[in-house]
Structure 1
Amino acid sequence: MTDAQDAPDPRTDAEDVAAFLETVHPYDSLPRDELARVAGCFGRRTLPAGAEIYHAGAPLDGLFLIRRGGVEVLDGNGALVSLLSARNSFGERGLMRDGRAATTARTTEETQLLVLPPADFRHLLARSEAFARFFRRGGGSEPRGADLASMKVSDLIARRPLSCAADTPAAEAARIMRDAGVSSLGVTEPLAGGGERLLGIVTVRDLSGRVLAEGRDPGVPVHQVMTADPVTLPSSALGSDILHLMLERGIGHLPIVDQGRFAGMVTQTDLTRFQALSSALLIQDVAEAATVEAMAAVTARIPHLLLQMVGSHVSHEVVTRRITDIADAVTRRLLQMAEAELGPAPVPWLWLACGSQGRQEQTGLSDQDNCMILDDAAGPEHEAYFAAFARFVCDGLDACGYVYCPGEMMAMTPRWRQPLSVWRDYFHGWIARPDPMAQMLASVMFDLRPIGGAARLFAHLQQETLAAAAQNSIFVAHMIANSLKHAPPLGLIRSFATVRSGERRHQIDMKMNGVVPVTDLGRIYALLGRLEPVNTRARLVAAEDAAVISPAGARDLIAAYDLIATMRLENQAALVKSGRRPDNFLAPYDLSDFARSHLRDAFVVVRTMQSALGHGKGAPG
């Protein structure tokens, strides 16, 4: 690199960098003194559009973190593998291997990078469990782990198998494919033990070339135009097997058959979708969207992104972080569109997310929870502007699939769109008078995270509130009691307490009785330790670092949370694959004995930690 702009600038102002790192995971999980130290280690580099940052095989200068701008990452063949934006890291894969780049990276626009030297990166890997876990489990933005070639075929099947009988008229088969938006059908016959035996496949190309092009009757049965006895693979095969067969045979549709039963179809479109779908690309599409409708088309792809990441065995905290990043991008784009529609705001404002978006824990099923803090200069004459502003953004979020909060905890509700002084009064009132409503509201608001606007409006409010709450023993006691209302679904004699009637009979709610009890524990630990992270997992790690809970208790609870959250996501992915809307309900007795036993053990850990907290013993050591 010879361009003067490419040379590292002098070390950046550490406080400025620390403020930025507080908004980036996993740095947001570091203790404050460690964060300040790390911030002083970063160098800064500003590059023009189209500049090469490094090329494959070259020595790496360090871990790169995008402060602003964009970067594309290419594999050894020059194929695009990632499009990165602000807060994305890259270069970690090479640093953890041999110090040389595994990919090529170059800017897509003028870009400012923060660069953490290799020695400091490795020091953090050794000292911070959260930091090591994030990057070693694939939390960075470089491709790793289960790529297309190493994925199992079962994780590539995009939908339940679609089929027709051998005597189905060609015209009817065409209608089935059109209505389902697919290009092929399995031609099957029923099996005595259930399921279907594959006789052949029929594709849109078959109907075009063998029926229309030859002037045959559209009523011809498909068995006369299908490809009989096609080559197949089992769902246990790898993506590389599909790639090799498609290339070798020149085919675009590959049926999957397990023990004689038709299990599904993998197509070239599925492979293309897998390679093209990433949170970075969705965020880029959101940023470029000109209309709310265009953004809604992007967010409609989130369930398939969830399916892909879960199938690639990406850790749950990375999956939910990347899905939340999309919600953040949608929100920021709507904020821009609102100002373009209504004109500049009359006074400074800040839009914040709470709930799962605030904690960066969104899954394939999320409503919206948000609020606005206005500058104290806001007066009655500004109400109409901010009411229209908030309505525009909340309506846009709803149109993009983030449905209105049933409890109306949204910025378009006047109560949650107030000047900073009113928000201070809210928090002080909840802490001073901890009735049940105050406890509920405080629980939600302790998960606030700024999304767009004047961040200074929240800079001191969080610290003030944590300090005041932690000093009020009555408030803390009420919050602890409130957190224990969500109990893990444990029954007697190693069983589960499932729903007893209705359509959810024999199921458990993996949100309210699974992750929420741990979320509540994390919030209490953050309150007790005055810890600023809002992400549940980051709170648990920070609680251990601050000795709020014992190392043994922290390890057990984190492991339990990982299992519960992972099984929740896997269940949602299975619903998406079956063509259903993801939800939070899981039938534990459909699991293997091994999985069911471990899930129950995880719930026992959570119950134990709740009991220890309720008895004022902290965490068992």
Structure 2
Amino acid sequence: MNDDLKATIAFLETVHPYDTLPKDELARVAGCFVRNEFAADTLVYQIGEPLAGIFLIKRGGVEVLDRNGGLVSLLAARNTFGERGLMRDGLAATTAHTREDSTILMLPAIEFRELIARFPSFERFFNRGRGQDHHTSDISTLKVADLIARKPLSCAPDTPVAEAARMMRDAQISSLGVTDGEKLVGILTVRDLANKVLAEGRSATTPVAKVMTAKPISLPPTALGTDILHIMLERKIGHLPIVEDGRFVGMITQTDLTRFQAVSSAVLVRDLAGATKVAEMAAVTARIPRLLVQLVGGNHAHEVVTRLITDIADTVTRRLLALAEAELGAAPVPYLWLACGSQGRQEQTGVSDQDNCMIIHNNATPDDMVYFAKMAKIVSDGLNECGYVYCPGDMMATADRWRVRQKLWRDYFQRWIAVPSNEAQMLASVMFDLRPIGGTVSLYQELQQETLDMAAKNSIFVAHMIANSLKHTPPLGLIRGFATIRSGEHRNHIDMKHNGVVPVADLARVYALQGRLTAANTRARLQGAEAAGIISTSGARDLIEAYDLIASMRLENQALLVRSGRKPDNFLSPTDLSDFERSHLRDAFVVVRTMQSALAHGKGAPG
């Protein structure tokens, strides 16, 4: 193997989804890439040209332009381009040229299509969002409101420049809005402080009004990203205030645009795959709230958003398992790490704790079990540091009862099904959402099918599971209203998790049990239940549409909280919704309540 091929393999190991390929396949694919060296400002391809393959930047930068010459993307190392045109009709849908001296690898079209056909990770990555004409992740077509990174910081015109400088330093920003009340009258940048204060020897007590840029050009929140790009490029400015009805509501900077390009699920997965320390991983997962805002702002379907966010949690977990093995040595016997809860269902949002367990091979010795206890602690502590906080119910692999040999897992499920106590119902509900994350998957596959067959045949257990699924109810009040939380921090809010998506997830779990369906994802379970005849076509369609609305509004509310500078949570105030939105949300809750009632009466759930 020559040095060039070794270098290409090493590079591809840091790029998703190539990092998912088996070693032999990765080496083969690496040998298929054609290396090209481009000088700055060189055309790579233009709109309408036949594409020979897809392009991967190894070094340098590329600008991608639309048919009107508008800037679509600024790409850097490890970014791919040209794939959409190749997958559509083989013709370039954009124009691409280098911004600086660049090394660009080209994978021939026939090899690219073979990877799409053979490897699900490639199909998911390159087909993400296709078929949904309403979605976008391009800066140019997103609304400005979805690009604002944080709440705006401002000062009054008479603020001393020294105080303004301290404000920028403490907030780690490069500009301030200057406001008279809420009205924007100017902006102050770090460059202004350097050029107009330090360079001219002005006093630290000089009022900001003396050195600010007065009456700066601005955009409304309803403008598009392309407007920002055009203004910044044409006027050679790096800060653009956002104003609504005269009020200063945000600031967009070149750093924000770069951050947007750098935050995607694929980029986060890539960065996690290359992390060698938990602190590095935590720095990556800290970008998840911003990813949530971008995905929601790009009008992605809720199941796409939660799937992409869950993929990040899966990557964190697998990376932590690898780090644990690097520290402790190779596992002495086969094991499997599994997620349950929202991660198990691939439904994580911007706020998630950790729910996990381990299945250990039956041949494990007591010393082996000590090894896995240490591994579980390393992984669970790492997840907590990365923002996946410890489960308050201790449903984690660090608990001795959830880190056991396969035969004991089999005993657990047999006991829960044979004697469905309240605890057994709760535990079975959680464990029916298990999904393998890392290790030997066969340890679970046989156990899963055995358990589903055993449970579906036990009518008493099914009846108890139905009763358990009805404990969470939609928040419906009297006379077309909502039953909101009555006291505490979230008074007059709806819990969009426990009274929103959880009732649907509980219904879907029962349908999966009745139909012996192996899917863990709620939407997939509902679709599977319809296909298996567990619920009627009309009932399934109504419930899926209701679930889509509830889950989407939950995500939109979380994104709104992030944009306003708060942590995302699951609590929504109905007063924040329009009459139209309130009406449709209530109708969705009515559908869920109706399906709960049908399940209770049609399947004989115990009282």
CA change 1:499–1:533 in 2 (3 A) is same
Aligned residues: CA RMSD = 3.3
2:444 aligned with 1:458: yes
2:343 matched to which residue of 1? 357
Q: Is the 8 A contact 1:541 1:554 kept in 2?
A: yes
Give the Cα separation in 1 of the matches to 2:497 and 2:440: 33
Give the Cα separation in 2 of the matches to 1:112 and 1:73: 22
Give the Cα separation in 1 of the matches to 2:32 and 2:262: 21
Q: Is the 8 A contact 1:375 1:457 kept in 2?
A: yes
Q: Is the 8 A contact 2:137 2:295 kept in 1?
A: no
Residue of structure 1 aligned with 2:591, choices 585, 588, 605: 605
1:227 matched to which residue of 2? 213
Deviation of the 1:45 alpha carbon: 11
2:131 matched to which residue of 1? 136
CA change 1:384–1:525 in 2 (3 A) is same
CA change 1:364–1:413 in 2 (3 A) is same
| Residue type of the alignment partner of 2:335 | W
CA change 1:133–1:226 in 2 (3 A) is closer
Q: Is the 8 A contact 1:74 1:82 kept in 2?
A: no
Deviation of the 1:293 alpha carbon: 0.6
2:597 aligned with 1:615: no
Q: How does 1:461-480 map onto structure 2 within 5 Å?
A: 461-480=447-466
1:32 matched to which residue of 2? none
Cα deviation 1:568-613 (Å, max 9, x = unaligned)? 1111111111111110000011111111111111111111111111
2:176 matched to which residue of 1? 185
Task: Could you list the structure 1 runs, at least 4 aligned residues long, displaced by more than 6 angstroms after superposition.
Answer: 72-75
Give the Cα separation in 1 of the matches to 2:129 and 2:524: 11
Secondary structure of the residue that 2:243 maps to in structure 1? strand
Secondary structure of the residue that 1:334 maps to in structure 2? helix
Q: Is the 8 A contact 1:46 1:112 kept in 2?
A: no
CA change 1:537–1:46 in 2 (3 A) is farther
Q: Is the 8 A contact 1:488 1:607 kept in 2?
A: yes
CA change 1:79–1:507 in 2 (3 A) is closer
Q: Which runs of 5+ in 1 are unaligned?
A: 6-23, 25-42, 65-69, 125-131, 191-195
Deviation of the 1:47 alpha carbon: 1.5
Cα deviation 1:47-79 (Å, max 9, x = unaligned)? 2256169x9755799xx9xxxxx9x99886796
1:48 matched to which residue of 2? 30
Give the Cα separation in 1 of the matches to 2:34 and 2:370: 48
1:171 matched to which residue of 2? 162
1:213 matched to which residue of 2? 199
2:396 matched to which residue of 1? 410
Secondary structure of the residue that 1:48 maps to in structure 2? helix
Cα deviation 1:120-150 (Å, max 9, x = unaligned)? x9xx9xxxxxxx99642389xxxx6352111
Give the Cα separation in 1 of the matches to 2:290 and 2:142: 15
Q: How does 1:418-567 map onto structure 2 within 5 Å?
A: 418-567=404-553
**TM-score normalised by structure 1 residue count:** 0.82
| Residue type of the alignment partner of 2:147 | L
CA change 1:553–1:260 in 2 (3 A) is same
Residue of structure 1 aligned with 2:297, choices 311, 335, 354: 311
Give the Cα separation in 2 of the matches to 1:83 and 1:521: 42
Deviation of the 1:615 alpha carbon: 1.0
CA change 1:102–1:438 in 2 (3 A) is farther
Q: Is the 8 A contact 2:75 2:261 kept in 1?
A: no
Secondary structure of the residue that 2:602 maps to in structure 1? coil
Secondary structure of the residue that 1:615 maps to in structure 2? helix
| Residue type of the alignment partner of 1:376 | N
Deviation of the 1:83 alpha carbon: 5.7
Cα deviation 1:223-263 (Å, max 9, x = unaligned)? 11100001111111111111111111111111111111111
| Residue type of the alignment partner of 2:131 | R
Cα deviation 1:520-544 (Å, max 9, x = unaligned)? 1111111111111111111111111
Deviation of the 1:178 alpha carbon: 1.3
Give the Cα separation in 1 of the matches to 2:603 and 2:90: 46
Give the Cα separation in 1 of the matches to 2:107 and 2:429: 41
Secondary structure of the residue that 2:184 maps to in structure 1? strand
Give the Cα separation in 2 of the matches to 1:430 and 1:265: 56
Report how many aligned residue pairs link the two structures: 545
Residue of structure 2 aligned with 1:593, choices 553, 564, 579: 579
Q: Is the 8 A contact 1:306 1:319 kept in 2?
A: yes
CA change 1:448–1:157 in 2 (3 A) is same
| Residue type of the alignment partner of 2:574 | P
2:101 matched to which residue of 1? none
Deviation of the 1:179 alpha carbon: 1.3
Give the Cα separation in 2 of the matches to 1:278 and 1:532: 30
Give the Cα separation in 1 of the matches to 2:454 and 2:566: 46
Q: Is the 8 A contact 1:151 1:238 kept in 2?
A: yes
Cα deviation 1:136-168 (Å, max 9, x = unaligned)? 2389xxxx6352111111111111121111111
Deviation of the 1:107 alpha carbon: 6.0
Deviation of the 1:201 alpha carbon: 0.5
Give the Cα separation in 2 of the matches to 1:392 and 1:532: 30
2:333 aligned with 1:338: no
Q: Is the 8 A contact 2:425 2:464 kept in 1?
A: yes
Q: Is the 8 A contact 1:84 1:280 kept in 2?
A: no
CA change 1:432–1:617 in 2 (3 A) is closer
2:102 matched to which residue of 1? none
Q: Which runs of 5+ in 2 are unaligned?
A: 6-19, 36-43, 66-72, 97-104
Give the Cα separation in 2 of the matches to 1:92 and 1:471: 48
